[in-house]
Structure 1
Amino acid sequence: MKLYKCFKWIPAVLLIIMPACSDSFLEVDPAGRLSSDIYPATDEEVLSTIIGVYDLMQWNYGRDWNSAYFAKNLPADDCNAGSSASDQLPYQNLDDFKNEADNPVTTAIWEGFYKAVNQCNTIIERIEPTSDFREQIIAEAKAIRAWNYFELVTLFGDVPFYTVNPTSVADYHKPRAPRADIYSQIETDLEDAISVLPLKSELPENQKFRVSRGTAQAILGKVYLYQERWNDAHTVLGQVISSQEYGLEPDFGDVWKRAGELGTESVFEVLYTSQEGYDWGNFGWGGGAESNIHVQLMGPRAPFFGKLDTIGIIPGWGFNLPTASIGEAFDDMGDQGPRYEATIMSESEFIAAGGEINPDTDDDGNPMPAHDYEGYLRMKYTTFADQTNTSGASIPELNYTTNWRLIRYADVLLMAAEAYNEDDDEASARRELNKVRERAELDTYDSPMSKEDLREAIKAERQLELAFEGSRYWDLVRWGDAEEVLSPLGFVAGKHEHFPIPQTEISSNNEISQEDQNPGF
């Protein structure tokens, strides 16, 4: 159950949000700032400020045509943009390594991350820690600020850095800060949050979406992992594991459905709801909807995929098609069990289940290959009929309630395994890796392995376990494997390790010039 329509309960305080360094914001009365020393006064008002931050994350990761979640997936080798070559060109360009500084998708998600940061800054600045309740709100804001800055430095590299919202014209113009400095503040924020936040089990049932101690620890472990601070990483990730607050869903397929929402495997999750029952006349295009329109966007497209109802799927709009390489990776692993079945389906399996493939034909009647189709349907995060609202006048395509899982327990186990292995604790690395393999019904690694062999095993496991979850590309980059794996797809070493700094930021920020742009853009 969602928190009493929590994503509709956003007070005027949300107007404080704005893109980093936008001069246009300075041209109007900043009425969205907290306008008096009284607000927020009551605990209800204080709670509304943090609910507003969760709403911003829902918006940034699910905004139609500008989703941070989808953008993180597109450059990887497990998915193609899909649909048609001319449909949603900003997404197609991300997929094809044709992204430039004026791409509206990367511009929009930059804006979205900074809006969340700025709202968190306001909470941290303005709310006095006069009670345990308020201390928890501040701790949540610190953890969420840390996450959004981590996303920014991962995707863009060095970025402008604000821990206090600007109060003068000059304050809006900041240079790119070194990632090391931002990492330091991220770590401080997370350590502060960990000392205050409750365990997930201590949160009320209708508030399990809120950041818990385990969430902050998992984020911190990931931050350490990306810096190759192996001992620090497995120490804090080990605390998440030993807390016994989390576990693996017995049925891998449930992780992506209502049955697994905020469940045992959920460490950090962005919520969506179908309670509004949208139709074509009242859907909030432009990012104002509370359902997850990207599930519809990423469902298999009819009539190319015919008789989808035979596998319980409603036709979608054809984006995020699996690549042949992810199918081959499952084959190479010998993984054809529950994890495979809940992730992808081959064309032959689809036809055997009663489906049809209906390709377009050219003027001579010859079949034409579909754009980006390489022989697989995606089953993870797809358009299952039982995962949307079909009541009354609701349009099923517009009402998917599917939540994005930003961090789940399987990722924690695999991150811990990687850190243990790199820190020369082979036995602990195999132990955590084997937990993931057991759920996938694969043979476990029961004999000692060399560091190199275990490293490759962990990489392979992450590729399959986390397919289509926005991890693959950034794993390849941090491992130094992106050039070898992705250069046939257009990846250029020294350029594509990061997205470009948006041109709007360079144009509006006096402390950043074109010479400060990421290399190659």
Structure 2
Amino acid sequence: MKQRLINYKTLVKYIACFLILFVLATSCKKDFLEKKPGYLSSEGFYQTDQQAEQAMNAAYYPLLSFWTNKVSFESDVLSDDAVKGQGSDLAALNSFDILNIDAASDPIKNNWADNYTGIYRCNLVLDNVQPDSDTKKRVLGEAHFLRAFFYYRLVIRYGGVSLSKTTLGGDIKLPRSTADETYQFIIDELSQAESLLPYPADVTSVNVGRANRGAASSLKGITYLQWGKYQDAYNVLKAVVSNAGGKFNYGLTPNFLDLFKVASNNNKESVFEAQTREGADFDQSNGFNFWVRPRNGSTIFGLGFCLPTKSLFDEFESGDPRRAASIFAPGDIISDEPIPGSSGDNVNKHPFQAAWAPETGYGCAKYVKGIFVGNNAEKTGQNKRLIRYAEVLLAFAEAAYKTTGHDNEAWDAISQVRTRAFGYNKPSPHTQLFDAIVHERRVELALEGKRYFDLLRWGLADRYLGALGYRSETKGLYPVPIAELDANPNSRQNAGF
């Protein structure tokens, strides 16, 4: 909480007069983040539609903090899908690699603080914007959605947390709510968002990239699923997938390899993405590519972290194109990109080598394979995919499996994902529905930060992570940051830390 309090004081001083204007992506290819911050008077602010949008734009910024705050792939290295890699480099994640998380580590402090920063900025909007125009109603819907999204990221990591709901007085040293109370608050927020936000099919070109009703309903179903409320999850997600071709306007990108390219930003598979701008400052661009891009000393390469395990590599079926799109194996071509200043030397002359990934022999290909970065290797314009429609389909499959009489619907959802991957309706290698769900989520969503929380939800963490250091007494939760405990006597540490 100490970090959070520092952020609050800074925000109170500056947010009202230093609000960040997003110019959203349009069909004319206008950059989502093309405006720099401007200075505005706090007196009488939040009155116009433009001011309401400016205030809301500031709440989106923490979605890109993974690059600067060392939280880009922390949950992947907790799972059996990846290790941090590269020896003692990026020591801040060493305790994650052995599943004995240091409560004083930067990723823990930053993850907590970033989410609460986003929550505080949402609270500012909800406390000050009046619903007296259609634009302001949409803005309030976005604030409810984002506040739910930040709390969802907290509850799956820390369990029940302090529910900060307003900036207008009150004790900020709040006690922790239970996990059930936190999940219920998230659901209530998403219901509010659903009532205020447009369906994806009704989103205007100037608002592409903002949260919409499809994102709210999808996250609501995913939240119910993680909470163990399977019938509710089924009901919500059924409404989304049943109307994917209509008001929700969702579909699967035909070629899986294209999913993480700039050209696929905000396409039909996008449910919610962190918006970026090529070559912009770190808080406006995507540094994930550079975090995981293989390293070999060339300027076109990266830091080489988040190394996939052989276990993950072997999970893919022979001939599954998702493996090559997700994992670099020795001999794989990274891209055909020229190396800047190299007189014609191309990246394709440097196939991936196992020595570049000393711990596992494999590299992360998502956000990297076939991506041209040029001089912006650390600042790409790839949006960070936070929720995509394939995940919604697989969440629906799981909810259908968990409820009575819906197995055929679950198999159909799995089939849609597999048909996109293989180009034809190839049956799952698993005849048992649950095994098929476990397999499909692992290979489809590999290295997207989902696997660890899947294993916790399924009660399989001991089986798959026990040999890697998983301690059941923690129930898979992260420790509450030491700084929070020092600053807030009403908080408490999670068991096992």
DSSP-derived class of the 2:83 partner: strand
Show the 5 A alignment for 1:171-190.
171-190=171-190
Q: 2:13 corresponds to which residue?
A: 31
Select the residue among 323, 326, 344 that pairs with 1:340: 323
| Alignment coverage as a number of residue pairs | 454
Select the residue among 157, 160, 170 that pairs with 2:159: 157
After TM superposition, the score normalised by the length of structure 2 is 0.85
1:296 and 1:383 in contact (8 A); partners too: no
In structure 2, how many angstroms separate the alpha carbons of the residues matched to 1:358 and 1:439? 29
Deviation at 1:129, TM superposition (A): 0.6
In structure 2, how many angstroms separate the alpha carbons of the residues matched to 1:432 and 1:206? 32
Q: 495-504 or 247-256, which moves further after superposition?
A: 495-504
* 1:71 alignment partner AA: E
Q: 1:91 corresponds to which residue?
A: 93
Structure 1 residues 408 and 457: CA distance shift in structure 2, 3 A: same
After superposition, the C-alpha distances for 1:120-152 in whole angstroms (9 at most, x for unaligned) are 111111111111111110011001101110110
Q: 1:419 corresponds to which residue?
A: 399
* 1:320 alignment partner AA: C
Q: 1:406 corresponds to which residue?
A: 386
Structure 1 residues 65 and 92: CA distance shift in structure 2, 3 A: farther
Q: 2:74 corresponds to which residue?
A: 71
* 1:242 alignment partner AA: S
2:265 and 2:383 in contact (8 A); partners too: yes
After superposition, the C-alpha distances for 1:377-433 in whole angstroms (9 at most, x for unaligned) are 3221126452x3x4xxxx332331121111000000000000001102111111111
After superposition, the C-alpha distances for 1:68-97 in whole angstroms (9 at most, x for unaligned) are x422322111111122x2111112221222
In structure 2, how many angstroms separate the alpha carbons of the residues matched to 1:494 and 1:57? 30
* 2:410 alignment partner AA: A
* 1:49 alignment partner AA: A
In structure 2, how many angstroms separate the alpha carbons of the residues matched to 1:501 and 1:493? 17
Show the 5 A alignment for 1:138-157.
138-157=140-159
2:2 and 2:486 in contact (8 A); partners too: no
* 1:155 alignment partner AA: R
Select the residue among 457, 460, 485 that pairs with 1:506: 485
Select the residue among 43, 55, 63 that pairs with 1:49: 55
In structure 2, how many angstroms separate the alpha carbons of the residues matched to 1:45 and 1:19? 30
Q: 2:302 corresponds to which residue?
A: 316
Answering whether residue 260 of structure 2 is matched by residue 256 of structure 1, we say: yes
DSSP-derived class of the 1:193 partner: helix
In structure 1, how many angstroms separate the alpha carbons of the residues matched to 2:148 and 2:176? 17
Structure 1 residues 172 and 322: CA distance shift in structure 2, 3 A: same
Deviation at 1:485, TM superposition (A): 0.3
Q: 2:342 corresponds to which residue?
A: none
Q: 1:432 corresponds to which residue?
A: 413
Show the 5 A alignment for 1:93-492.
93-165=95-167, 167=169, 171-243=171-243, 244=245, 245-276=249-280, 284=281, 288-303=282-297, 314-330=300-316, 334-349=317-332, 355=350, 371-372=358-359, 374-382=360-368, 384-386=370-372, 388=373, 390=374, 395-424=375-404, 425-441=406-422, 443-445=425-427, 453-492=432-471
After TM superposition, the score normalised by the length of structure 1 is 0.81
After superposition, the C-alpha distances for 1:277-301 in whole angstroms (9 at most, x for unaligned) are xxxxxxx5xxx54221221121001
1:426 and 1:448 in contact (8 A); partners too: no
Structure 1 residues without counterparts, runs of 5 or longer? 1-17, 277-283, 307-312, 361-368
Deviation at 1:496, TM superposition (A): 5.6
Structure 2 residues without counterparts, runs of 5 or longer? 18-41, 335-347
Deviation at 1:349, TM superposition (A): 4.7
DSSP-derived class of the 1:380 partner: coil
Q: 1:518 corresponds to which residue?
A: 494
* RMSD over aligned Cα atoms: 2.6
In structure 2, how many angstroms separate the alpha carbons of the residues matched to 1:491 and 1:354? 40
1:200 and 1:213 in contact (8 A); partners too: yes
In structure 2, how many angstroms separate the alpha carbons of the residues matched to 1:434 and 1:161? 39
Overall identity of the aligned pairs, in %: 30
Structure 1 residues 357 and 115: CA distance shift in structure 2, 3 A: closer
In structure 1, how many angstroms separate the alpha carbons of the residues matched to 2:67 and 2:168? 26
Structure 1 residues 289 and 130: CA distance shift in structure 2, 3 A: closer
Structure 1 residues 23 and 320: CA distance shift in structure 2, 3 A: closer
